[in-house]
Amino acid sequence: MFSFKNQNIGGAHMLNMKRISETWEMKVFTDNGDYFGDVDESILQNNKISGWRVRATRNSFLNKVLGSAKGVIVPHGLVKSIGDIMIINKAAVPNYDPDEE
């Protein structure tokens, strides 16, 4: 299990816990609201999450940027929040200029 959201309820801090298995195929969005892809796998090192393999899906931003590649690895430090969806920092987004197409 891992935790992310630290809530303050009535002066007490509570952590929302999630099982790592609940993140499989979770939708990933940037902090700008762009759909990025789906979680394909978590990457563990020394019993800690070090990154996330995000799969490019048909309507995702990654699909436009990567072309034939299947996805990217997002370092865990760039993940802002995990709940019903995963929100990542825009620094994880590869540079993309739609005018180059």
pLDDT digits (tens, 9 = 90+) for 35-69: 999 999 999 999 899 999 999 998 888 888 877 77
Contact call for residues 6 and 82 (beta carbons, < 8 A): no
3-class DSSP assignment, residue 37: strand
Other CB atoms closer than 10 Å to residue 52's CB: what's the count? 26
Task: Name the residue ranges covered by the structural domains of the chain.
Answer: 22-92
CATH number among 1.10.3480.10, 3.40.640.10, 2.30.30.240, 3.40.630.30, domain 22-92: 2.30.30.240
pTM over 0.85: no
Lowest mean pLDDT among 12-16, 43-47, 97-101: 97-101
